[in-house]
Amino acid sequence: MSLHNGDGKFKELCDRFFETVKRPRYCPFCQGLRIHWNGHRERSASVMEGDCVRHLTDIFCRRVKCASHVCKKSWTLRPPGLTPRRHYQLCVVASAVRQVVSDCHSTLTAVARAHQCCRRTVGRWLRWVVGPSAPFIPDLAR
C-alpha cells in the first residue's frame, strides 16, 4: 500500500494489522516452535499523506517471544511500511531529499519546515541518501 494516498489509511492499516496478525510459527533466531505473545509496543511515526506530513501516534506493534529455554529472544511484528528505528518513514525522507535535489533554490530550513522536522535532520537525510554520490554533486561535497 502506498503511503501517498492522502486519506488516512495508514493508521487504519496499522490498527488492522495489530488486530489480525498471526503468531509466527517458529523463532527466526533458533527455529524453535514454542512462541508466545509478549505484549505490545506503542510507536509514533510521521508519514506523507498527499503533499503533507502527518504525525501518527498510538501505533501498536505486537511483541513476540521465543519460549525456548536456550533462546528466549523477543522481537516486534511491525505493519508493512513501518520502518524499524525510524520516526520519519521513508516516504518523508524521499520527499524531502527530492525537494532539495530537484529545486536548486530550496533551502534546508524551508524543506524542514514543510516536512515538520529540523534543518539538521534534512541535512542528515541528504548525507544518508545522496552522500555516496556527493563527489559528483558540487553543493553536497564537503
Given this model, what pLDDT does residue 137 score? 53
Please name the helix (run of DSSP H) or strand (run of DSSP E) that holds residue 111, with its range, or none: helix 108-114
Residue 110 has pLDDT above 60, yes or no: yes
User: What grid cell was written down for 128?
Assistant: 544518508
Please report whether residue 96 resides in a domain: yes
Residue 48 lies in a domain: yes
| 38 and 68 in a common domain | yes
Q: What is the pLDDT of residue 81?
A: 86
Handedness of CA 49, 109, 58, 27 (dihedral sign): positive
Residue 111 counted as domain residue: yes
Domain count within the chain? 2
Q: Give residue-wise pLDDT tens across range 31-79.
A: 999 999 999 999 999 999 888 899 999 999 999 999 999 999 999 999 9
68 and 99 housed in the same domain = no
What pTM does this model have?
0.74
Query: Do 13 and 66 fall into the same domain?
Result: yes
Based on the domain organization, do 69 and 96 belong to the same domain? no
Strands (DSSP E) found in the chain: 35-49, 52-66, 74-77
The residue segments making up the domain with residue 54 are: 9-81
